[in-house]
Amino acid sequence: MSQAHITLAEVRLALFQLLQAAYAVPATPELAGALAEVAAAYGEALGCALPQLAPLEPGPDLAEFHRLFVGPERLVAPPYESVYVSPEPALMQEATFAVRSFYRRHGLTLGPERNEPDDHIAFELEFYARLQAGALAGAGEDLIEPQRRFLTEHLARWVPAFCGRIAEGSRSPFYRSLAALTRAVIQLDAEHLNPAAHAKEESTA
**108-167 residue pLDDT tens:** 776 655 678 999 999 999 999 999 988 887 765 577 889 999 999 999 999 999 999 999
Pick the more confident residue, 38 or 91.
38
Q: What is the DSSP letter of 140?
A: G
Give the number of domains in the chain. Answer: 1
What does each C-alpha distance from 178 to 40, 45, 69, 196 come to in angstroms?
13, 20, 13, 29
| pLDDT of res. 202 | 43
CB 96 within 8 A of CB 118: yes
pLDDT at 72 over 80: yes
Does pLDDT of 107 surpass 90? Answer: no
| Amino acid (one-letter) located at 199 | A
Between 58 and 140, the higher pLDDT residue: 58
pLDDT score for 74? 94
Lowest-confidence range among 24-33, 60-69, 126-135, 174-183? Answer: 126-135
Supply the range of the domain harboring residue 12.
Answer: 3-204
Which residue from 86, 93, 104, 109 is spatially nearest to 158, judged by alpha carbons?
A: 86
Q: Bigger pLDDT: 191 or 35?
A: 35
How far apart are the C-alpha atoms of 16 and 47, rounded to whole Å?
A: 18
φ and ψ at 109, to 5 degrees?
-125, 125
CATH number for 94: 1.10.3480.10
CA atoms within 13 A on the CB side of 135: 25
Distance CA 65, CA 25 (A): 8
Find, among 201, 153, 181, 203, the residue nearest to 46 by Cα: 201
Q: Cα separation of 11 and 165, whole Å? A: 27
CA angle 52, 3, 13 (to 5 degrees): 45
What whole-number distance in Å separates Cα of residue 88 and Cα of residue 177?
Answer: 29
Task: Output helix, strand, coil percentages for the chain, rounded to the nearest 5.
Answer: 70, 0, 25
